[in-house]
Structure 1
Amino acid sequence: MEGLIRQAYRRYDFAVSVAAVGLAAAASIWLTRFGGPLATVWIANGLAIAALMRRGGEGMLRFLAITTAMVWLLGVLGGFSALNALNLTLVNALEIGWVVRMLSGSEGVTYLEQPLGVQRFIVWAVVVAPVVTSALAAPVHALETGASVWLTLGMRSCSHALGNAIAVPLALGIARWRHIAPLSQQRARRSLLALLLLALATVGAFVQPEVPGLFVVFPPLVLLAMVGNRRWGVGGVLMVALLGGWLTVIGQGPIAEPGTPPALATMQFQLFVLCCIAVALPLVTSMEQRRRLGRTLRGSEARYRMLAEYSHDLVLLLDAQGYCKYVSPAAYPILGYRPDKLVESSLQSLIDEASLATAVELWRRLINGDHPGTTLLRMRHADGSYRVMEAAGGVIDEEPDRVILTLRDVTARIGAEEALREERRLTDITLKAIGDAVFTLDREGRLGFANPAGAELLARSTQPFADKLEDRLPLWRASERVREDHPVRTALNTGAPAGPLLCVLEPEGEPSRAMECSAVPIRNELGGVIGAVFVLHDVSAILALSERMSHLAHFDALTDLPNRPLLLERLSAALGRARQGAHHLAVVFIDVDRFKQINDTLGHVAGDAVLKQVAERLLSAMGAGDTVARLGGDEFVVLIPAVNDRDAVAACALQALEALSAPMRVGRRELRLTASIGIAMFPDDGDEPDLLIRHADMAMYAAKRAGRNDYHFYISSMDAGAQAEFDLENALRAALARSELFLDFQPRVDTSDGRMLGAEALLRWRRTDGTVCRPDAFIPIAEASGLILVIGAWVLKEACQACRDWQDGPLRDVGVSVNISQLQFGRENFLQLVMEALREAGLPPHLLELELTESMLMEPTDAVRQRIAGLKSLGVNLSIDDFGTGYSSLAYLRRFAIDTLKIDRSFIADMADDPEDASVIHAIIALAISLGKRVVAEGVETQRQADLLAALGCHEMQGHLYSPPVDAARLAEFARRRGAARTRRLG
């Protein structure tokens, strides 16, 4: 409710003020009919002055015009003549405006809360303005009423002075009622006692006949003003006025003496009340100001003491000689001293000698009244160490011989700054040494910094005077300029890292260079983007090597024909087109007859020469749209993507046989070859790539069985050969039950010193008839039937147990490597299987190496990543078996933590005579070394091969040159021999 009233008053304060002035004027005019000492007190002007002071003089002319008209009307209605009423209202307006102008200021309602304001108020509102305006109004009033001019002057001056003295403080006090602090209980009791004494003094003053006796009220009035506040002071004056006026009306006191003219008695009473106000109002104001200053001073002292007590900085109060007079509690956490122990100690005793001269200069400037800013000082800690302190201070103005010194511990900050400078130095060294071009750019993409590699690129820019970096070093992709998706634009516009993006840079006068570019935004403290860091990484050499490896992954290294993966890819695409076009497709499987004899009698070099000529003749014999691929060895496949019927395919087969039958010169020999050809057609013989190749393979074997140098089409009865595979699968299952499987181990030796480093576990099958079946005869059956999971688990556990057993002999610290099949690696419990094998055997994980194939890593799914990460966390080593024959790619080498690359024996066999194989091996070894991998060469059979591999930097070798696969006992004997031979060489 109170809030609603205040809100309404603020909205209608002008109208409320005008109404208050009108009511006060009407009351004063009405009281003049009854006479008495208070009858002529005119408070309307005081209310108007208070209202205008509160409004800061705003709308004064409008306010005065309205109140003047209203008071004139009230005067005429109250019995005054129109001229006299006009005379009085005009001088009233003059009095109000004059006082407001003389008291104008920004204080408003707080004007009378300052002693100087009270003095000005008494001078202008109580003395000068009432007297002057009364002098102006007295002649006209005297002429209209016939009263004495001097009496009119005195009566009006007193009534207006008393009205202003009462109304203005009272109105402003009511406006500030909520802001006046209440008294404490003790001061309230004292104020109440002083008020009672004032009431008794007032009664005593107005019951005795002497006028000087009236001033007996002043001592209790002064006491009330001193112990109370403005409310009590104004209340005391009002009580004196009301109580004295009542006693005077009933005929008590010197003012009511018989024979005293009423006008004189009224003036005497009003002068007495004015004297009371003149005594109480300044005294109350002065006492309140002193109390406010005291509270402010005490609060300020408490705040500053609290700041010093709870500050993390050390605050010292020093005398002119530099001795501590006050020490804040921060001395203990900062310097390790209790504050009371440092009082009366000198500042010099805490300063390190290295900072003593700086401290003396700081002290001299502080004593001289200068403000030197902050200074770094080294101060001694209680434990003997030193702290770097940031000192600042000054002289206390009221006490020139006292110095305040504030010390902030910046040891950590200085250390951090030094570390930052060192980090920047290392960063500069790194940026100068790094091979990548690094640039910093502003928000608009303009160049700010370039490391030496970047400056070298800028020196060869095709647009050296361009404003933005993306224009100075334009990037290209797919023959189009990189603009909207430029990493710099993306980073600056989105605030997110951009790239890496593979693009091409064309330096001035140089070949194009493949670049991998990326950008990262630079942010300020508020998180806004203010620039970017742009990095250009030259990947030309890596891409060239990657392209070479990709080519090797899809093309045969000897004949440069498509290999099996590329053939399958093209066959899948051709099948899709054949299905859509509803035409036939043929797969022609070609195998050179008795090619093994060529290798055995003429050697592998001659055999490779034969295979190259076979490839060339097949390419010349087939059509332009046909694909001639080499699957391996002497097996070739021709894909004819579109044929009309079998006769056309038969004609192609005869053409191939004719081309191959022509005499072929190898060295000084002339050879005549024949071939066996199998043909499978879509859709009659199958609709899947593998199925068509398998059926063509069956048809080729049928041609061989029929006498060779012929071609056969696939027929369904050829599947009878699958029965043999089924029998082999059943025999393999029985072999698992009868424990016919066993392991042999082929050692791996160090290229540098011939020391045995590890052994590869190789699976063997000793059948019931005593013959040993090699894994290439039954492993495909095991993988196709799923038996490889059981066999693989047995091999892993058996190899771990064997490795643990031989740790106590000459094979100490020699690890074992185990081949893992793709089906086995893809199982969810593979990691658990490895952990179980290690735990059961008690084998340290670092002695186990798992050999994976490239195809296992070509699809980097989350499961593959988790398995690789799990194996590496166990400490197991990983290697890539037959590297270079599959899907060779740099991607998985960078993505996974592979330890070793094993070069396939097909490259090793002819490396001494075939520069192509030697270059491939060289590329693989260089790639492995650059990526921090070890290299193992498989199938090393001659010393010449070993010497070439050692010269190329191969780390380890494995092959019949050193030892065939043997059991654990003979493996230990091999290790002993190698150790003894190495000892002799060292000797």
Structure 2
Amino acid sequence: MNTIKRQIQSLLPPLAAVVAVTLLSLWLYKMGGSKSLPALCLGNGICLAVLMHRARRGAVALVTGACCTIWLTNMAMGISVEESLVGALGNALEMGIALWALSKKDRATHLETPYGTKRFIIWALLVAPLVSTLAVFPWLILTGHPHSWETGGLRFVTHAMGTALAVPLTMEVLRWHREPGLSRRRTHRCAQALLGLIGASAIAFVQPTLPVLFIVFPPLVLLALTGNRRWVIAGIIAVATVGAVATAAGYGPIHHQAPLPAWSALLLQLCVLSCMSVVLPLTASMEQRRRLARTLRGSEARYRMLAEHSHDIVLLLDADGYCKYVSPAIQDMLGYPAVKMVESSLESLIDEKSQAIARELWTQLLQRKPPATALLTMRHADGTFRNVEATGGVIDEEPDRVVLTLRDVTARVAAEDALRQERLMTDVTLQVIGDAVFTLDRNGKLEFANPAGRALLDRSIAPNERTLEQQLPLWREGERMTQMHPACMALQSGLPEGPFLCALELKDETRHAIECSATPIRSSSEDVMGAVLVLRDVSAVLELSERMAHLAHFDALTGLPNRALLLERLDIALARAKHTAHHLAVLFIDLDRFKQINDTLGHGPGDELLQQVADRLLSVVKGADTVARLGGDEFVVLLPDLSDKSDAAIAATKALEMLSKPIRVGRRELQLSASIGVSMFPDDGDDADLLIRHADIAMYAAKRNGRNDYHFYTAAMEANAQKEFDLENALRFALMRSELFLEFQPRVDTSSRKIIATEALMRWRRPDGEVCLPDVFIPIAETSGLILGMGNWVLKEACRACKAWQHGPLKGVSVSVNISQVQFVRDNFLSFVMESLRETGLPPHLLELELTESMLMEPSESIQQRIAGLSALGVKLSIDDFGTGFSSLAYLRRFAIDTLKIDRSFVMHMTDDPEDASVIHAIIALAISLGKRVVAEGVETVQQATQLAALGCHEMQGHWLGRPGDVGQLAQLARHGTKSTTPRAAQG
């Protein structure tokens, strides 16, 4: 009941104000007629300001009372009941919309912030009047109001203007009691300014000129500068009263300037609103400055005495965090003068990492949540940082002031960090170290064990014993260590013990090799407080040492002796053979085509194969013999005691027979062969390295002579090896010096005898002028790997030459290039061909690549894709030396081969040997049936050419048709044509 009574009492003043405004409107109406109608809109603004101030408490009652008052006033002015009711309901809708938008969660939104002012303008002055006007507008149209559009527009403008005038003015009146009283002198000045304002208002509103209205602003501004909000509100009310009376009586510029009677009241409201917009902000600013000055003067007197002599920094900050007072201690602590820190933000001195902590501290201070203490990092004037402990609180008498004290704790924090870091490093070290670390007290009782130590304790043979030496007994030289335990010795003598090797006895395990050491722990008074015992497991180290010693002399894959051990044994065997005059043999064994097996099956099966080879070699030698592996597929057998060469030949034969037996690797059964080189002592050398090198040379001779055989070393072999080495070295320099060049041999159409293609042949002109043919250096290039670079050079040079001769007599003549297997199996071969064609500009159909049958026998997917890519590119493919390799109809059907080249060995004797002629006839018939072209190589006589033409051969190539030469010779031959009647001598 009391609550309802208090609410009713609180609503009486705003209702009284609304009644007063309506009575004023009624009085103005009686005096000036419709001029006073806009004054009714002030009631909406008064109610809205009261509800904003009260946070919507009593909104329904106040809005209802105000609307009823306005309704009754409208009827008293002679407006119909229906029109008055519609107007009252429109006012209620307008106030409801504005109140809903400007209040949120029962908290009033005042016109004291830019955001609040913006919302007030949008919702109270624009949206709410517009919505209420639109709601009333249909009624005006339905009732046939003569000026519905003008009335609606006037209603929107007057309501917006009235709200803009009434709300700020009412808000200031509601805050009247907050204004402090003035001194007698200021009160006297304010009274004089108010009287002057009233006189200026009377002059302004009785004369007919509109600009003269501005004479009210100087005395109004003077009143704002001299007084406070009370006096300013009184002045605004005085201006409004004088203007209303004069306008209602028919005087003044507003009465004369308004074409419609209702607009006069609207212009009066606009004038009053202009006065408010000028003086109210000015008054607020002046009052704020005066209040701040008074607060600062009082605060400074209270705090200065306590802060001046403190070693801590004392700060007085406002609610926004700006310094209002800074004690002199900041100069010593942070290096900043106190006077320069006043009115600056403390946040600028705080490190970015401490910003969040500072904001949390600030929130706690403002909310008065104890304890309000935080550790901050602040920037010193010299650029360094200080650790500062901040604490403070809010002054009860001045809630917008915060007192903050800063204490320099840099030294303390540094000491704590160092101690924490040291402890952390110690803990981490003890946790991750592999050694077992134990800490014992002065009586030998266990106090601490790291994870490695606890793992040993879990395997203790006596976990319930009191002391560590009983839980983990140590053995040394076959005796158990009791009194001589290193921990006991360190506790008794106070000196470090160890490190030394011993054995540790554990449960259900053999003894482990342990490196043991103990160190006493002393106090500050040098008394022994305990000891640290460290046990390091070195069993793995000892095992690894033995393992490394074994690996240093034995092969890791096969377990055979390696080169180092072989040389040691060979030196010993040589010394004994020299002393006893016995023979000694070294067999150098290399598996034939092992790389192909390794590349095809993989390294795993290849390693398994090498292990089986090692076992087989061990099975054919005697106990005194040595089988060693030098690396890869190279093995050496040392036969230290022989009578003559026949014994070495027998051993080599046994090795070849044993290695030639089928070997099963996984699911595959392989057939191996090997090449063996044999060197003898004393015939082939008396040095270990020399014997191995001579056996290696003999092994390569066996490989060159067909493999799967053994050869004894001879001096001629070394000469050939030296010759091949010199030739390989010269060939490397030939590539660098561009000594290689190309010659082209024509391919002639059998019917027309015209040149339709050429074959590019590589030549080597040595520095002495000698020209080497490919048969001399191509085998060396293939074994040394130089063939890849040479083949790429030939392909690109041949394309460039073919492109160049397309503008002369050789137009349309293609070029064929021999491709090595090393070059063809490269993954980038197809891209290199495309790059060569693109770089030289040669059309793909003018290039033919000659392959061997061995390249096509491997049915791998990569080979098929490579050939398919070349065919799709438009490059022609031919098989060189057809009939001499693994001829198969399968690859002719599977691959897109364009041409078959019959080897010269068949053509050479075809006129004398019917079998060769039959083979050629079969090849030509096969090619024609498969749609392939046939080229016969090595045509030297007219009889051969005539017989090939009769057999249906498409093309011929040989010295009788044209020798290899440069592009000029080839062009001359194309101009004059090939001679078919005069045989040509074979090239020497």
The answer, yes or no, to whether TM exceeds 0.5 is: no
Q: Which has the higher contact order (CA 8 A, sep 6+)?
A: 1
TM-score (norm 2): 0.31
